[in-house]
Structure 1
Amino acid sequence: MRETIFIILFLLSINCVGQNRPLLWGVDDLPQSLLQNPGARIDYTRHFGFPFFSQIHLFAGSTGVTAFDIFDDSNPNVNQRVSNVMSRLTKNDFFSVNEQLEVLSFGWKMGERGYFSAGIYQELDVFAYFPHDPAILAFEGNADYIEQNFDFSDVNFTGDVLTVYHVGLNYNVDRQLTFGARFKLYSGIFNAESTNNSGVFRTEITPGGPNFYRHFIENMSVKVNTSGYASLKNKEGMTVDEAVAELLSRSFFGQNVGVGVDLGFNYKVTEQLTLSGSVQDLGIMFHQKDTENSYYYGSYQTDGLEPLFPELDNNEATIPYWDVFEEELNVNLKDETLSEPYNSWRPLKFNASLEFGSGMSFLPCDYLIHKRPRYMNVFGMLFSGVNRPKGPTYGVTAYYGRKFTENFRMRLAYGIDQFTLTKIGLMASKRFSNFNLYLAVNDILGFTNLAKANSASLQFGMQFIFKDL
Structure 2
Amino acid sequence: MKYIYLTGLLLATFIQTAWAQQELTLHNMSSIFQSAHTNPAMQHKHKVIISLASSYQINAKNTGFTYNQLLAQVETDETGQRVLDLGQLADQLKLNGKDYVHTSASLDVFGLSFKAGKNRFSLNVTEHMQARLGYSDAILNLAVNGNVPGSTINLDGYTFNGTHYREIGLGYNRKILEDDKLIVGGRVKSLFGMSNVRTVRSDVGLTTAEENDLYEITANADILVRTSGIEMLEEGETDYITNMDNKGLGVDLGASYRYSDKWTFSASVINLGYISWKKGVTNYESKGEYVFSGIDNDELFNGNFDFDATEVLDSITSIFEFDETEGKYTTSLPTQVYLSGFYQLAHKTTASATLYSDFVGGFRKGMSLGVTQTVGRWFQASATYTMHARSYNNLGLGIAVGTGFQLYAVTDNIISLMQPGNAKLVNMRAGFNFLF
Match of 1:4 in 2: none
2: CA distance, partners of 1:446 / 1:90: 23
Alignment of 1:246-261 (within 5 A): 246-247=236-237, 250-251=240-241, 253-261=243-251
Match of 1:105 in 2: 111
Q: Does residue 87 of structure 2 align to residue 117 of structure 1?
A: no
Give the counterpart of 1:354 among 341, 347, 369.
341
The percentage of counterpart residues that share the same residue type is: 18
Alpha carbons 1:202, 1:217 under 8 Å: kept: yes
Structure 1 residues 258 and 205, CA, compared in 2 at 3 Å: closer, same or farther?
Answer: same
2: CA distance, partners of 1:401 / 1:61: 25
Match of 1:378 in 2: 350
Q: Does residue 268 of structure 2 align to residue 262 of structure 1?
A: no
Match of 1:446 in 2: 416
Structure with more relative contact order (C-alpha pairs < 8 Å, separation 6 or more): 2
Deviation at 1:228, TM superposition (A): 1.2
1: CA distance, partners of 2:30 / 2:310: 70
- C-alpha RMSD over aligned residues: 3.1
**TM-score between the two structures when normalised by the length of structure 1:** 0.78
Q: Deviations over 1:426-457 (max 9, x none)?
A: 1111123x221111122122222212221211
Give the counterpart of 1:166 among 155, 164, 169.
169
Alpha carbons 1:19, 1:385 under 8 Å: kept: no
Worse-matched range after superposition: 77-86 or 193-202: 77-86
Deviation at 1:192, TM superposition (A): 1.1
SS in 1 for 2:27: coil
Q: Deviations over 1:204-223 (max 9, x none)?
A: 1141x4xx1112246x4222
Q: Deviations over 1:342-365 (max 9, x none)?
A: 1111111111101111333xxxxx
Give the counterpart of 1:37 among 36, 39, 42.
39
Alpha carbons 1:20, 1:395 under 8 Å: kept: no
Deviation at 1:148, TM superposition (A): 2.5
Q: Deviations over 1:307-350 (max 9, x none)?
A: 999xxxxxxxxx99678767877998874222222111111111
Q: Deviations over 1:124-149 (max 9, x none)?
A: 11111115324554x45x74533232
Residue type of the alignment partner of 2:418:
T
Q: Deviations over 1:25-82 (max 9, x none)?
A: 1433221121111112332221111x111x2111111012222233458623555444
Q: Does residue 234 of structure 2 align to residue 193 of structure 1?
A: no
SS in 2 for 1:25: helix
Residue type of the alignment partner of 1:262:
D
Structure 1 residues 151 and 103, CA, compared in 2 at 3 Å: closer, same or farther?
Answer: same
Give the counterpart of 2:375 among 404, 425, 430.
404
Alpha carbons 2:147, 2:153 under 8 Å: kept: no
2: CA distance, partners of 1:196 / 1:180: 38
1: CA distance, partners of 2:114 / 2:242: 24
1: CA distance, partners of 2:247 / 2:375: 44
Match of 1:52 in 2: 53
Q: Does residue 226 of structure 2 align to residue 225 of structure 1?
A: yes
Alpha carbons 1:131, 1:156 under 8 Å: kept: no
Q: Larger % of strand: which?
A: 2
Instruction: Return 5+ residue gaps in structure 1 as ranges.
Output: 1-8, 236-245, 310-318, 361-375
2: CA distance, partners of 1:134 / 1:230: 31
Alignment of 1:20-35 (within 5 A): 20-35=22-37
Alignment of 1:295-306 (within 5 A): 295-304=285-294
Alpha carbons 2:149, 2:215 under 8 Å: kept: no
Aligned length: 407
SS in 2 for 1:41: coil
Deviation at 1:102, TM superposition (A): 0.7
2: CA distance, partners of 1:62 / 1:160: 19
Give the counterpart of 1:288 among 267, 278, 292.
278
Match of 2:61 in 1: 61
Residue type of the alignment partner of 2:67:
A
2: CA distance, partners of 1:247 / 1:68: 38
Q: Which has the larger radius of gyration?
A: 1
1: CA distance, partners of 2:192 / 2:127: 9
Q: Deviations over 1:79-120 (max 9, x none)?
A: 54444445523421111111111110002223x222110011
Residue type of the alignment partner of 2:394:
K
2: CA distance, partners of 1:217 / 1:79: 29
1: CA distance, partners of 2:120 / 2:104: 28
Deviation at 1:250, TM superposition (A): 3.1
Instruction: Return 5+ residue gaps in structure 2 as ranges.
Output: 1-10, 300-305
Q: Deviations over 1:244-289 (max 9, x none)?
A: xx45763454442211111111111222211111111111111111
Structure 1 residues 418 and 248, CA, compared in 2 at 3 Å: closer, same or farther?
Answer: farther
**TM-score between the two structures when normalised by the length of structure 2:** 0.84
Structure 1 residues 70 and 124, CA, compared in 2 at 3 Å: closer, same or farther?
Answer: same
1: CA distance, partners of 2:238 / 2:397: 33
SS in 1 for 2:416: helix
2: CA distance, partners of 1:417 / 1:176: 31
